[in-house]
Chains A and B, each alone.
Chain A
Amino acid sequence: SQTIHQWPATLVQPVGSPLSLECTVEGTSNPNLYWYRQAAGRGLQLLFYSIGIGQISSEVPQNLSASRPQDRQFILSSKKLLLSDSGFYLCAWSATGLGGEQFFGPGTRLTVL
């Protein structure tokens, strides 16, 4: 069966520090991968998606970036965090195209102080 992992589960970082969040998927090949951000009590904002290794599409201009160095690995990064980067970051995968059902990881709760 497929599983999706995210780490760390929680993170507290100072403003201006770098960020690296990792997501890995097991049990499937060539998944579509997604990064979402959810502000407290709000909906899901799609940040990046990837249909293959090295292929990243950005949905929202910001100081975040994403990379996909391996088929089942998706990384979210920032060189310098802002206060507004705080939120709940969710990685998800889908198997049946960009509009197919998505399976979410447990998420990383990021607080920038």
Chain B
Amino acid sequence: GQQVMQIPQYQHVQEGEDFTTYCNSSTTLSNIQWYKQRPGGHPVFLIQLVKSGEVKKQKRLTFQFGEAKKNSSLHITATQTTDVGTYFCAGRGNDYKLSFGAGTTVTVRA
């Protein structure tokens, strides 16, 4: 099956700054999903991208699916303390299964 790599593993951000986390697959994906897990909590679905080059926004979060459907990014602007947590991407391959990346754990300095 496909492997989904996510970088960076850790992201330490000053409150108010922007950052981006990246997700790359070894094979073409039919869709990519993003989840957020707060400390001590469980993953919560954020969004799904299906089309090549698709861009979706949720307030300060911008999600992008690459033209080749093998990579994705999550960009957060003006980071707030509420953005703390681990962000996972998950790609759906030809076997219809989701493969999760290892996640980017975000901490925020006030």
The interface of chain A, by Cβ under 8 A from chain B, is 41-44, 46, 49, 90, 92, 97-99, 101-107
| Interface range for B | 20 to 34
- Output the nearest chain A residue to B31 by Cβ-Cβ distance: A99
- With both chains docked as a complex, state the minimum distance between the C-beta of A86 and any C-beta of chain B, in angstroms: 16
Q: Mark B residues whose CB is within 8 Å of A.
A: 6, 30-31, 33, 35, 41-45, 48, 88, 90, 92-93, 95-98, 100-103, 105
**Smallest CB-CB separation from B30: which chain A residue?**
A99
Query: Could you tell me if B102 and A43 are in contact, using CB atoms closer than 8 angstroms?
Result: yes
Residues of A contacting B: mostly: loop
- Chain B, Cβ-Cβ closest to A59: B97
Q: Are B97 and A102 in contact (CB under 8 A)?
A: no
A sample of 15 cross-chain residue pairs with beta-carbon separation below 8 angstroms, ordered by A number, consists of A42-B102, A42-B103, A43-B100, A43-B102, A46-B97, A46-B98, A49-B97, A98-B92, A99-B98, A101-B48, A102-B33, A104-B42, A104-B44, A106-B42, A107-B42
Q: Given the complex of chains A and B, what is the CA–CA distance between A92 and B95 in angstroms?
A: 19
